[in-house]
Amino acid sequence: MKTLLRLPSARVNWTGVVVIVLTLVGPHALAEDRGAQIFQNQCASCHGNEGIALKTPILHGQEPVYIVRSLMAFKHGGRIDQIMSSMNEIASGLSNEDISALAQYLASQDPCAIDLQIDYGRDGFQEEFAAGRDKYAQSNCGHCHDSFHHYAPRIVGQKAAYLELALSQFKSGVRVAPMMPQLLASWTEQDFKNVVTYLSGMRLMRACGDHY
């Protein structure tokens, strides 16, 4: 009489499955999901399309280290929110892991997702853009902002309203950063306007949707 080989009944170890899935997904993907949730719940109303008319910066595509350092400064009081007066409170409620996840998420996002419109047809735009490009080069702004030296943020394609506010704060001393007060001391009001037009106008250099 033949004896049939009986295989043990399959029992799924769901804990093991979850561990395997988490391993395959990887911590980066999980952190990005976490970062996306934080952005949608706490940041999008000011830094997303909902806040396009505010003087708040676009953060999509920003350097992750800059975002981490900024949030840590807001969290620990090293920087005071001069725009919406809410960043210090928001940052204080974020853990270091939250901040890291948010920075990873924002760095991976396409700035074209922000519906920023540039009125390149207005009178004087081309002249201001050209003069601003020259001033940006003469002042060697790209040494930090194009290479991210001194943890400088990306500013090409940034909102004009935010750039105007940030530059005025650096010039007045409300905000402090290496070399900024000395650099801006000799700038005229027209220089400020030209550089802002150039930097915000560089948004036009991106192939965003069907508009450009």
pLDDT digits (tens, 9 = 90+) for 126-167: 999 999 999 999 999 999 999 887 889 999 999 999 999 999
Q: How far apart are CA 196 and CA 162, in angstroms?
A: 9
pLDDT of residue 34: 96
How many CB atoms lie under 10 A from the CB of residue 101?
Answer: 24
pLDDT of residue 118: 92
Q: How far apart are CA 59 and CA 51, in angstroms?
A: 12
* Rounded (10°) CA dihedral 166, 172, 177, 183: 100
pLDDT of residue 150: 80
Burial of 138 (0-12, 13-18, 19+ CB in 10 A): exposed
pLDDT < 70 stretches in the chain: 1-30, 209-212
pLDDT of residue 138: 97
pTM (2 d.p.) = 0.82
Torsion sign over Cα 46, 136, 173, 93: positive
From residue 12, give the alpha-carbon distance in Å to each of 6, 16, 17, 20, 79: 18, 8, 8, 13, 52
Token pair 């074209």: residue: 112
pLDDT of residue 12: 42
pLDDT of residue 82: 87
Report how far Cα 67 is from the mean position of its chain's Cα atoms: 7
DSSP the chain: -PPPPPPPPP---HHHHHHHHHHHH-HHHHHHHHHHHHIIIIIHHHHSGGGTTSSPPP-TT--HHHHHHHHHHHHHTSS--SSSS-HHHHHHT--HHHHHHHHHHHHTS-GGGS-----TTSTTHHHHHHHHHHHHHHTTTHHHHTTTGGGPPP-TT--HHHHHHHHHHHHHTSS--TTHHHHHTT--HHHHHHHHHHHHHGGGGS--TTT-
One-letter identity of residue 166? A
